[in-house]
Structure formats: structure tokens, C-alpha cells
Chain A
Amino acid sequence: MPRKDAAELESLQARLAGATGKKYWRSLEELADADEFRRWLGREFPEQATVWTDQPSRRRFLKLMAASLALAGLQGCRSQPEEKIVPYVEMPEEVMPGVSMLYASAMPVPGGAASVLVESHTGRPTMLEGNPEHPAFRNVTAAGMYAQASLLTLYDPDRSQTVLREGAISTWDSFLANLRLRIEAARQNNGRGLRILTEEVNSPTLAGQLAALLEQFPDAKWYEWEPVHDDNILEGADLAFGQPVQTIYQLDRADLILSLDSDLLAGQATHLRYALDFADRRRPREATLDRGMSRLYVVESSPSTTGSRADHRLPLRPADIETFARAVANRLGVNVGDAPSLPEGVTEEWLAALVDDLQNYRLPDGQGGALVVAGPWQSPAVHALAHAMNAALGSVGRSVRYIEPITVRQESKTTQLKTLVDELNAGEVETLIILGGNPVFTAPPEFELEKALTKAPFRVHTSLYIDETSAACPWHVPETHWLEAWSDVRAYDGTISIVQPLIRPLYDGVSRHTVLSALVGGAAESYDLVRSAWRERLSDLDDKAFEAQWRTVIHDGFLAESQAPEITPTLAADLAMRLPTWEAPQTLDESLEVEVAFRPDNSIFDGRYANNAWLQELPRPFTTLTWDNVALISPRTAERLRVKTGTVIELEVGKQRVRMPAYVLVGHADQTITVHLGYGRTRVGRVGNGVGVNVYPLRSQETPWSAIGAIRVTSATYELATVQHHFSMEGRTIVQDGTLAEWQAHPRHPEFLAASHHGEGGLPSLYPEVKYDGYKWGMKIDATACIGCWACVLGCQAENNIPVVGKEQVATGREMHWLRIDHYYDGEPENPAVHNFPVPCMHCENAPCEPVCPVAATVHGSEGLNEMVYNRCVGTRYCSNNCPYKVRRFNFLQYSDKSSPVLELLRNPDVTVRDRGVMEKCTYCIQRISAARIAVEKERAATGDGSLRIKDGGVQTACQNACPTQAIVFGDLNDPESRVAKLDHEPINYSLLEELNTRPRTTYLAEIRNPNPRLMS
């Protein structure tokens, strides 16, 4: 096609025009990214395009990286500043190959920040863990799932790598030149046609830049949009107090929690704090049995991690929850106007018991009292009622605190976006700068944002990926990953945290700060921008003191004492008047209508993490589904509609229709369908494209969280890849559980526990007891504390170089996670008790896997670990067959991509990357044990004290650190003072499948619940 060629030549010339010297060469290299060049490269070096002929699968992306990464070398050179390459004459202090270093940083997440310590190996971040010194996250060792997984995003070769103009490669300079023309024009008219659309801003530096911009261009406007927004929370606070507040729950003090559709233990920016505080109130031990434990009531429509821990759980249709909240509030003495009748499924007795408990259930050390929490997806009225109930219960100031909002703007995101759309449609917008986010994909369908956008002649979108919004904008600027550029962010409590980069931008990314500074002037580098903003903030310090403070902040990761100030809002006296009048929820035609609830996804949230293969393959809690989203439906409704798991159903809300597979989930509310946002991406990358179904079209501005829709059952079915298929214990002794009262009745020998031989040498054996004189590693898992969020699995994946296998392989039963969370249910399918049960390798002392290996590839270590010798493994799989816990994982195909340089950066150098045909499994993070042992031996040599040992807590496994509730404890059983040794003596400590006499080193603390005796039937 000569025309195309000519056009290409033109664009090539245009790109080279004006380039001189070094710049010229830079441009040539940029050409490397052109499709033509890639094709040529593929032809010239065919081996780089060779793909093992697996069935077409997503894991092919790992293979394909080889092709794209041949270019990464070129790109790598390009993004470096001009520097001379000189070998180390003197080695930089502290940087030692093989020795990792920790840096404090923070990942911005909606509603706050994840405060992290980043492990860096010779300049490349390889692992994230929580920053336990951060005031908002004190003692939290977990980084949070999204932060953990964002490491993979950093190295994702699908990330946007260059500035694009109309889809063709361009340069930052070229973009700047164009932008300046617009700015000059805007300066003439006070920025009348200038609009900025951002995600929720809680970076002080970014907020400062935006303020400066609005000052320079008084007529310019700035809007925010988040698909998972807090509009209802804002409106609820407005109803209750007439002012915006940020509510902080002190779960470490609360005696009783009533959750109204709030998944406060997972997903939100606060969840790490809440999960730990919640679990800390629920760790009964023999010595502290009389301290009791807090009690949790959960009323929700869709089973959540919080619901799985409830002592009493009530599944209700989303619309019924407001009715329920009004009833509770009414009985607590809150004036709610007319008290509505109780929703179906709620008995007067249940409600009375709950209200009585709310008012009277107190722990002996109780200082917090009861607490009512409303979920972000509940109506403003429920939020206002929750505030009122907490006030009525006297919990404000005890287990509930209010602080000033940490975000810059407290306006409904939907309204903001609507305003922008209206302005666009009115032709008032000339220049639109979209900083991050993906509004074209996530905006309510009736906004028709994509169409509206075309009205603004100059549009630019900055983002990590060339996504749906980028495609709708003539200009696209690649953004830096948070680990690539300086920034700052406020945690949920307002603490200002520093976002410290750990690596130079891998691609041509530009930080948001740099983009904004191009508009308003100022330094171009994000470091200078952040630092100068901080200089202003700390202007009362002199230069020297500032320097010291700045260094402290960078070292610690946060500015101490920078929490948002507490406020004491007054509850509106006329709340009953302010509340919208209660309307009975619409009755649904049982065979036709359902209430569709929209929720962010546990893995990919609102879709922003869709190209993250770790998250896509991380089983979703309770369904254990990977690589898809489904319509969750209750067993009763499914039966009535003749829907099975995998049946494709059609949902119709308004004029929009979506077809997606159903999943029958026990404990789900009847006549309700839960769907998860963020799937069905079309432009994100090879991992996320086409995964699942996009449900945003069903979600209008009036019904962001639940809508009445029609359901139609089709005859089609769809294969889902789940990792667990059986959720019944089949009468076997697996999860052992009891109530606190039962334990208190028999503290030493709780009757709910199956007869235990643990601690008495196990079952009889013909063989002599093996003595472990040195360390004797062991792990305890507290089944009470496990909320089933699967974060441990992600931590393990990052630490241990665990490959991703793709949907087809998961469906075949070949997922590689070394650790899994089993979910078991008992009781009625309508509302069963949920058991979360993490299963890593048991490290049995009598390991069944060891004697059957013909080549001695799995052997017992001197410290009691069951070890794998990868080099020796020939892959008979006999060990896996003989493992009663089925924790071994086999590389059926070449899952690890060993040919992509970018993934080499990601890998933990302390852990072997396994090949095809090799068995692998949990090692108790043996590399961390070795590192600690070496450190102690050095110390021994230095001090001459041969009795030095690894201290308790000196080795923490990746899963242990990643667990938000610290349900996993690891340590030396030979050290009587270690936590793990103490837990070993707990009467509720038991081994899984004890009757096999495998003598696991991983044992469990039985699951203890604290139900209200009045509600025990």
C-alpha cells in the first residue's frame, strides 16, 4: 500500500526533523518501537518470535515478552539521562550485590496510601512489605495486595512506553511544543477552555500544583472522577452533620461491630489497619480467655471477607439494608421518622438480640463499646443513620473518631464528571488534560463520555497503559509507575507519606507532577517539585533543619505528626427531617427481576489492575475464581431460575444488556446478583484484554451500587477456572471450630476439638524420635484470624518467583501457588458458616513425600524442613500423589519465562527459578532463614558469643508478613520464648489430618467464634 508507506515516511521525517546530534540517534532508536520494525525484527530473528505451541493462552504473554524485550534493551538506553559509564572505582557505600536494602515508600490508592518498605536488590525493587512504623499502619507488616502486585505492573512490558499522537509515536518535546501553544492561548482568556480531570487527589504536592494552576487560570476547572467513589459517604455525612468528615473506626477498642454491607476488612485504603485491629480483639488464648473477644454482626448482600468472620451474618438484598438500618436505629432511640416494617428474613427476635447486644455487650477491658459501620455502597441515609447510631451508642470519641477529610475536594465525583460532560457537550472545553484514571471505560454509560470528549479539540491522557481513554484522546503521555517517580500522598488518617522511587523510569514515563508543571511552570523533575512543595510546607524550618527533616521523612517514609486534625461534628438535631423519606424497596418479580449489586473486584479493583497477571490469577475469595468475573447468585434464586455455576445469564438494566456466566455462591442474598467491576477491558494489554465481561454499562449515575434489572437465563454455558470445586468437609475433621463460651467451659481440653495427640509425641511409631538440636522451625495458623483475603498467596508469589500459568492451566488444575486458602462451608446454603483455611506445606516430620521420591529430590533438613532439591527432581510426581495435603505444585509446562530481561529484574535473586518438569512447593521461605542464620553467624564471629541464635521474629515468611491479620506465625519451636512455641502449647492447637501421623510443623489454632447465646438455635 504505497499510500500508507508514504504516510509512514512522512511521519518518520517529521519525527526526525529538527533532531540533531545525539537527539537524532535517539529518534532513530525510537523508531524501534514501530510495528514495522517489530515485524522486521521478528523476521530477522525468528527465534525471538518462537512460541512453544501451547494452546492459545494468556500465559503466552510471558513468552511473547521475549519479542518485545529484544527492544527493551534499546528502550532502556534511551530513557537514561546522558551519563558516562564508569565502572566502580570505589564501590558505593552499602550497595552490595546479593544484599538487599529496604526503602520506605508509599503507593497511592483510592482513599489513602499503602505504606510500604521496598526491598531492593542492586537497584531493582523485588518485594514489598508493610512499613510497621507508619503511624497509620503501626505494627502492620502487610503491604496490601494492590501494592504487592504493583511490582509486576512496574515491570509489565505492556505498559505504555512512549508519547503517542493519534496513535503514532511522538516525543515529550513535541507534546510540550503543542501544549505550550494551548497554554499561551489559555493565558489570553484566563484558561476559560482549560479543564483538568484527575483521579481523587490526595497528594499534597499535586494538590498544590492544581491550586497554583487554578490561580494562574482562574476560569480553568478541575474535576475528579473515581468509579469506586465515596459519594454516598459524603452525602451521608452531609445529612448527619452538614459537613464532610473522615470517619476512623478504632476496631482495637470496639467490643461489638455491626457492619451494614461494609467490607471493612478488605479492599479499602483503611483495610490493613482495620483487619489487624479487628483480629487483635479476637485472639483468644488459654491464659487470656477471660478477656473475651469482640463480636461481629454483618448484614450484607454479597459474601465478603468481613462476612466470613461474622459471628452472626444476615444476607439481605441491598435495598433491604436501609430498611434494616432504620429499624435498628429506631430501636436504639434514633428518631428516624416512621419506623418501617422489618425486611423479609429478619425476625423480631434477631433484631432484639442485636439491639440488646449493641447496647450491652462489653468486654472486660471495654472502652470502645459498640460500633456501626456502613459500607460505601449503602445509601446516604444508611451512612447518616450509622453516624446517628454511633452517637446514640456513645461510641463517638471511643471507637469512632472523626477527622478532617484528607482529600482536597469533597464533592460528589459523579456530579463533577457530569459537569465536565455537560461542558464538553456545550463546547466550552478546548483543552482537556486527563491525569490518570480511565474515565472512558468507567464513566456511567449515559454520560457518553467518549462522544463528549470529541468536542474538546485538544485532549491528552496520561496513564500507565494505552487504555480506552488514551484511545479517545489525540495525545497520550505514558505515566511513571509510583516506584519510578517522586511524589507524596496522604494515608487514610492524613499522615503525609513520601512516595520514593526505587528505580529510574523503565520507559519514557512522565510523572503527573511533571505534566502539571508543564502547565504552570516550575521544575520539570518530580523530585524538585516534591521537595520544593515540602520546603514550602516546612517553611518554618531553616535550611539545615529542613534538610535533616527531609532526610528523616525519606528514611521513615512519612512526616510524623501530620495526621489530619480531629473534629467533633455535631449531629443534626433534625436528622429525621433531613433523612429522605423511606420508600419500601421495590418488590421483585421472582422469575424475572433481580437487584444487581456492583462491587469493585477483590483482585483488579475498578479495572485499573486488569493487566496484572498475579492479580488476575489470584483466586477471588469464596469462589476461588481466576481470570473472570461472574454474576454471583444465591442457591435458592439459582434453583428457581434453573441456573448452575457456568450458566450464561443475561442481565438487563435500563437499556443496557450484559451476558455473563453465573456462579452460585452460598450465603448470597436471594433475588440479588453481584457483579464485579473492571473486567472486559479492551485496551490494556495482553494479560487483561478480553478477560471477563464489562459491567460498567449497567451502572448508571443514579444507581452506582445497585439497580433493579431483568434476568434472563440462556442455554449457553461458560467454563470458569476455579481452584477449589468442593466446599464441603464431607464429614472429615479438617477445620475444627468452637465457640468462645465452649472453650471457656473447658479451658484445657475444649470439647469441640477432636482428640489430640499433639505435644505428646504424636501417634506411636516404630522409628526412634528424631531430635532437632538446633533450630526447629514451625508455623502456626490462627484460623480465627484468617479473613480469607488471599493476600498471603500474593506475598508468596512475589517472594518466591512463582509463575503465572493462565486460565486454561488453572482450569486444568495446574495453578502454581505454593499456598492456598481453602474455603469450607457448613450449615444451611442460604447462610452457612464460612471457614477460611490457609494451607501451605505442612513440613511434616514424617513426610509422606520423602520416602517415595526415587531420586532423593525431596529430603528432610536438619532443622525439620521438608526441602526440595530442584536440580535433582526428575518429575515423577509421586511425591505430589502421596502428599495428603496436596500442597505440591508441578511445572507441567515451562511456566517461568526465563528469556525476558524485564522479568529478570522482578525476580528474587535468592530463590531458584524453576523449570519445566520440576516439582516445587512452600519452603518456609528458606532463603530468609538462611539470610538470618548467616547474619547471626557473623554476629557470633564478631562477638565470640557462640550461644547467639536467631531471635524470635528474626525470620518472617512472606505469607506471614503479607497477612493483614497476622494469622500466620513462624518461628523456632526450640526457643521456649518464641511466639510459635507458646502457641504450640495452646489447647486449641491441632494438626491437619493428625490421624495420618505425618506430624506437621504447620499446625492450626482452632477457629473460635463468639456468637450471641440468645441467637444460638
Chain B
Amino acid sequence: MKSLAELQAIKERMQNKVALREGSGDMRVVVGMATCGIAAGARPVLSAFVEEVAAADLTSKVTVSQTGCIGICQFEPVVEVYEADKEKVTYVKMTPEKAKRVVEEHIKGGKVVTEYTLANENA
């Protein structure tokens, strides 16, 4: 069983890293988690982003957070990627598989996955 002692160990490992987290915010991944998003499958999409960002060792640079209804419910699950000095990218009809690709190609590689974007959907 995962014990509180293990949690204590996590705390000790993390304390040094907390200072680093403060200076983060280079990139923000925001998942729409209102009723519309949740019903459309946003929960596993969020989990996928959290796990993939950690697996890519990018937690100090990239924050994954949740927001309410973005207003385009027919395109849920919707994910927005914000990066300093760049235009916001809106990904639509997301799945955990698509999330994995976005982390690999966009978050890590810097190249927007155009085929999943709202702009592409509307084209």
C-alpha cells in the first residue's frame, strides 16, 4: 500500500525542485473541464497531458491546468496551448492519443499539430 512514508519521501525529493517551479510558466496547456468538456471525454485527455508532460521531463517548463467552458462546446474536448510571444493554439475534439502526439510534436518539438487545431476544423 502507498504509505504516508512514501509521500514524505516525495516531499523531500521535491523540496529542492519547488524553487524551480516558481520560475516556470514558459508554456501552459489548458484543458476545458466544464460539463460539456467532461461529457465529451476531457478527463482522460487531461490525464494524458499530465502523464506525457511528466514522462517527457517537462514539468518545470510546462504547466497543465483546467478551465471552464471555452464556449465552443461542439468541439470538446478542447485544449489550448499558450506560449510566451506566440499565438494561442486551440486543439479540438481531443483524445488521449492525440494528446500524446501534441506533447511529442508541439510541446516538445515546437511544431503545431495543425490537423487537430480549430483553424483546421473550420477550414
Co-complex (A, B): no
Residues of A at the B interface (CB closer than 8 Å) are: none
Residues of B at the A interface (CB closer than 8 Å) are: none
